[in-house]
């Protein structure tokens, strides 16, 4: 499916706050002739496929579309994994026999009335003030400053330095995050933190659709020597601009392995083996996914927390989990 066609489907049917991840360039779209919708997925090796997010279609067509996807997987000899399922998805996937468990939590800020006043944001305000004293300013690329090939090259170089600073064994996470806005991108938005007129950090946002439409905080990068608070300042300036535009929701996306609770485990389709595996990774898997540092940034904004889930069909196996980790480049 062409990107603009996929975007139109999401605008009509998506309720998932991270649905825009389905627009990533290497993500495929499973469709059925005559149905207005798709399932976003990627093959994982020769015997697995990983679905991302919900079934994006009219509610009356979701069961038929998921059934067709299962038929395709069976013909291909592929096991299925569905990641970032929402509470609204659970019953449908349980009906198809998925082994389900909570994967983590998605965070969202209701921008109606959101303010940085009060003691709970005192540390945040101090960090912002420190960044401003260091001379950091924030602009939106393509609106406040031109987003041209020269700026894109600088950001590519920043990406490379950011990744190198993480260590040679660290890879850039894929599939569970979006893609940075490009100079010809009319879908995503990009806010730059500048020091002495040069970009030292950026935050990229993707659109969020449906009843809680708004923007999805997606990708953050910074120079290793960026002034403290540069990312926070870019985040806050973007948040305030969204408020000026009367945007209701700023979504912060999924953080795997956080906010795990027995209260969040699905009533139907729950699988103890999958739950134990997720909890083991949560306790011992910092080398797999930087959940702790990611959650610390999100939680300081006092967001709403919503559980998200993972499902395996026909069952969970170490090989399937390995394929999922390889696909996301966690290992």
Percent of the chain with pLDDT over 90: 70
pLDDT number for residue 202 = 97
- Residue 151 CB partners (closer than 8 Å, separation 6+): 141, 145, 183, 199
Chain centre distance of CA 20: 8
pLDDT digits (tens, 9 = 90+) for 5-15: 999 999 999 99
pLDDT digits (tens, 9 = 90+) for 275-312: 887 887 777 666 566 667 888 999 999 999 999 999 99
Q: Which residue has the higher pLDDT, 162 or 267?
A: 162
Q: What are phi and psi for residue 186, nearest 5 degrees?
A: -110, 10
Give the domains, in start order, of the chain with CATH numbers: 3-105+259-288+306-327 (3.40.630), 109-252 (3.40.630.30)
From the CA atom positions of the chain, what is the Rg in Å? 20
Asked whether the predicted pLDDT for residue 259 surpasses 70, the reply is yes
User: What is the C-alpha separation between 21 and 38, in angstroms, rounded?
Assistant: 13
Q: Tokens in use for 274?
A: 């999958």
For strands 37-43 and 56-57, give the pairing. Answer: antiparallel
pLDDT number for residue 153 = 95
Q: Angle at Cα 15 formed by Cα 13 and Cα 92, nearest 5°?
A: 90
**Contact at 8 Å (CB) between 206 and 178?**
yes
Alpha helices (H) along the chain? 3-13, 62-76, 90-95, 122-133, 149-165, 230-244, 272-284, 291-299, 318-327
pLDDT number for residue 328 = 56
Residue 81 pairs in a beta bridge with 50, 312
**Model pTM?**
0.92
Residue whose structure tokens are 């700023």: 250
Asked whether the predicted pLDDT for residue 173 surpasses 60, the reply is no
pLDDT number for residue 267 = 76
The DSSP secondary structure of 63-129, one letter per residue, reads HHHHHHHHHHHHHHT-EEEEEEE-GGGHHHHHHTT-EEEEEEEEEEEE-TT----SGGGHHHHHHHH
pLDDT digits (tens, 9 = 90+) for 59-77: 999 999 999 999 999 999 9
pLDDT number for residue 331 = 40
HSE-up of residue 176 (Cα within 13 Å, Cβ side):
26
Residue whose structure tokens are 């659109």: 207
Q: Tokens in use for 220?
A: 């953050």
pLDDT digits (tens, 9 = 90+) for 7-43: 999 999 999 999 999 999 889 999 999 999 999 999 9
User: What is the C-alpha separation between 90 and 270, in angstroms, rounded?
Assistant: 9
Neighbours of 66 (CB within 10 A): 24
Nearest one of 77, 35, 89, 26 to 60, comparing CA atoms: 35
Cis bond upstream, residue 324 (ω within 30): no
pLDDT number for residue 99 = 92
pLDDT digits (tens, 9 = 90+) for 118-169: 999 999 999 999 999 999 999 999 999 999 999 999 999 999 998 887 765 4
Percent of the chain with pLDDT over 70: 90
Asked whether the predicted pLDDT for residue 211 surpasses 60, the reply is yes
DSSP state of 178: -
User: What is the C-alpha separation between 188 and 270, in angstroms, rounded?
Assistant: 36
Q: Tokens in use for 108?
A: 């969202």
């Amino acid at each position: 499916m062409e990107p603009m066609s996929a975007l139109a489907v999401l605008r009509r049917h998506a309720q998932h706050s991270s649905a825009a991840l389905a627009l990533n360039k290497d993500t495929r779209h499973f469709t059925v002739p005559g149905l207005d919708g798709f399932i976003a997925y990627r093959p994982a090796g020769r015997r697995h496929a990983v679905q991302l997010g919900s079934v994006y279609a009219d509610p009356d067509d979701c069961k038929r579309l998921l059934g067709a996807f299962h038929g395709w997987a069976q013909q291909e000899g592929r096991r299925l994994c569905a990641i970032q399922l929402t509470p609204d998805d659970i019953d449908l996937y349980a009906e198809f026999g998925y082994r389900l468990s909570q994967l983590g939590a998605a965070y969202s800020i209701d921008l109606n009335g959101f303010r940085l006043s009060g003691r709970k944001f005192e540390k945040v305000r101090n960090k912002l003030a420190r960044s401003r004293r260091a001379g950091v300013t924030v602009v939106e690329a393509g609106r406040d400053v031109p987003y041209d090939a020269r700026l894109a090259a600088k950001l590519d170089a920043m990406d490379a330095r950011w990744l190198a600073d993480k260590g040679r064994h660290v890879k850039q996470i894929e599939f569970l995050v979006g893609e940075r806005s490009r100079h010809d991108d009319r879908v995503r938005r990009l806010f730059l933190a500048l020091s002495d007129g040069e970009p030292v950090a950026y935050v990229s946002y993707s659109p969020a659709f449906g009843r809680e439409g708004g923007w999805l905080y997606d990708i953050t990068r910074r120079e290793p020597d960026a002034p403290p608070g540069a990312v926070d300042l870019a985040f806050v300036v973007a948040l305030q601009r969204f408020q000026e535009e009367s945007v209701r929701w700023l979504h912060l996306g999924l953080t795997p392995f956080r906010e795990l609770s027995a209260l969040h485990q699905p009533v139907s389709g729950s699988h103890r083996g999958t739950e134990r595996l997720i909890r083991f990774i949560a306790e011992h898997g910092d080398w797999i996914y930087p959940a702790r540092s990611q959650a610390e940034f999100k939680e300081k904004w006092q967001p709403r927390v919503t559980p998200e889930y993972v499902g395996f069909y026909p069952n969970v196996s170490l090989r399937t989990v390995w394929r999922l980790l390889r696909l996301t480049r966690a290992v």
